[in-house]
Structures are given as structure tokens and as C-alpha cells.
């Protein structure tokens, strides 16, 4: 009986590791496509450890204006923030509001979970990151163009996000 439980637990661990490894690839099949705008002239190439090509993008949604910030008290660094995005007539998503409580989304809306970074007193805006600012691109794009770009991301129902395309 002990041997059976040991093998059962071992198989369960292998199955969990397998699912963790392949869930990134399931985002394309089960995720929702969302288009975002980059901040002008903010796309940069960097080189990480072992000379792996990395890209860093500041999105418009990283910068939340005071009128969209629906949090009354001061927020600590790295606090979880929920940002409601609405699509415009072109299908590009923009900030509707941000809160530290969960927000329900309607048909043409999505909610992204981010982390509060800081408040810029000169610009009167809050800076939030979402975990999609730095990534290894698995597609070709022209990183030398410094115009505003449309970035396509996939949002999985289980919360994972990935960048799938950049249109310069």
C-alpha cells in the first residue's frame, strides 16, 4: 500500500510539473487577445545573462492618471492593483480605472492585475507594472523604430500573459 501511494504521488508530481511547463503554450488556444499601445520612444533592446535577447516596453497602461486612480489611501510599493481596460473603436485597450479591490469586467473590457511601483508627482500619475514589460520575443520585429507601437498580448483565463506580436 505504501508503495502504491508513493507511485501515485510521484505520478501526480510529474503531471503537475508537465502542466506547469505547457500552460504557457496553451495561452494561444485559450487566451483572449488584447492590443495595447506602447509609450512613445520607450521600446528598448537589452541583453540579459548569457547574451539572451530581451526587450523592454513601457506601455501606456503603465502610467495611470489621477482621475482613473480609485484608491483613497496611500499604497505601498508592490501592492496588487486591478486595472480595468476598455477597448476603443480600433480594438486597442486603454485604462478606464484602477483599484486595489477586484473589478468586474463587461464584454468589451478586461481586468489586468498589476503591481504598484511609484507615484510621479510631476506628471501626476501612478506607475504600475504587469509582468509583460520585459520578455524574450519569439517573433521578429523592428526594434529600431521609435514610434508608438501596437503590442498584441494573450491573456489566459488562469492569469498568465504573454506578448505575441509588435506592430511598429
What total of structural domains would you count in the chain? 1
* Collapsed DSSP state (helix, strand, coil) of residue 73: coil
**Residue 159 and residue 157: Cα distance in Å, rounded?**
6
Is 21 inside any structural domain? no
Is 22 inside any structural domain? no
Is 40 inside any structural domain? yes
Model pLDDT for residues 89-137, shown as the tens digit of each residue: 999 999 999 999 999 999 889 999 999 999 999 999 999 999 999 877 7
pLDDT at 10: 92
**Residue indicated by cell numbers 535577447:** 53
Q: Classify strands 32-37 and 150-155 as parallel, antiparallel or unpaired.
A: antiparallel
* Collapsed DSSP state (helix, strand, coil) of residue 17: helix
Instruction: Per residue of the chain (168 residues), give pLDDT as tens.
Output: 888 899 999 999 999 998 888 887 788 888 899 999 998 654 555 555 554 667 788 999 999 999 999 998 999 999 999 999 999 999 999 999 999 999 999 988 999 999 999 999 999 999 999 999 987 776 666 665 567 889 999 999 888 898 988 887
Kindly give the residue spans of alpha helices, DSSP state H, lying in 31-115.
Answer: none
* CA angle (10, 15, 19) in 5-degree steps: 150
What does pTM read for this prediction? 0.80
- Identify the CA nearest to 11 among candidates 158, 25, 19: 19
pLDDT at 44: 53
Is 13 inside any structural domain? no
Is 15 inside any structural domain? no
Is 3 inside any structural domain? no
* Structural domain that includes position 147: 31-167
**Residue 50 and residue 63: Cα distance in Å, rounded?**
31
Q: What is the CA radius of gyration of the chain?
A: 19
Residue ranges of E strands in 100-167: 109-120, 125-129, 134-135, 150-155, 161-167
Amino acid at each position: 500500500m505504501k508503495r502504491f501511494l508513493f507511485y501515485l504521488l510521484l505520478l501526480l508530481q510529474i503531471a503537475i510539473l508537465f502542466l506547469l511547463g505547457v500552460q504557457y503554450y496553451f495561452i494561444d488556444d485559450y487566451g483572449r487577445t488584447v492590443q495595447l499601445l506602447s509609450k512613445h520612444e520607450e521600446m528598448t533592446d537589452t541583453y540579459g545573462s548569457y547574451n539572451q535577447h530581451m526587450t523592454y516596453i513601457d506601455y501606456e497602461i503603465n502610467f495611470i492618471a489621477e482621475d482613473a486612480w480609485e484608491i483613497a489611501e496611500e499604497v505601498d510599493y508592490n501592492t496588487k492593483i486591478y486595472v480595468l481596460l476598455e477597448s476603443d473603436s480600433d480594438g486597442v485597450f486603454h485604462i478606464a480605472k484602477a483599484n486595489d479591490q477586484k473589478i468586474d469586467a463587461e464584454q468589451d473590457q478586461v481586468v489586468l492585475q498589476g503591481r504598484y511601483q511609484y507615484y510621479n508627482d510631476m506628471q501626476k500619475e501612478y506607475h504600475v507594472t504587469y509582468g509583460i514589460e520585459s520578455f524574450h520575443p519569439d517573433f521578429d520585429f523592428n526594434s529600431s523604430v521609435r514610434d508608438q507601437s501596437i503590442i498584441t498580448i494573450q491573456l489566459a483565463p488562469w492569469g498568465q500573459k504573454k506578448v505575441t506580436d509588435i506592430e511598429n
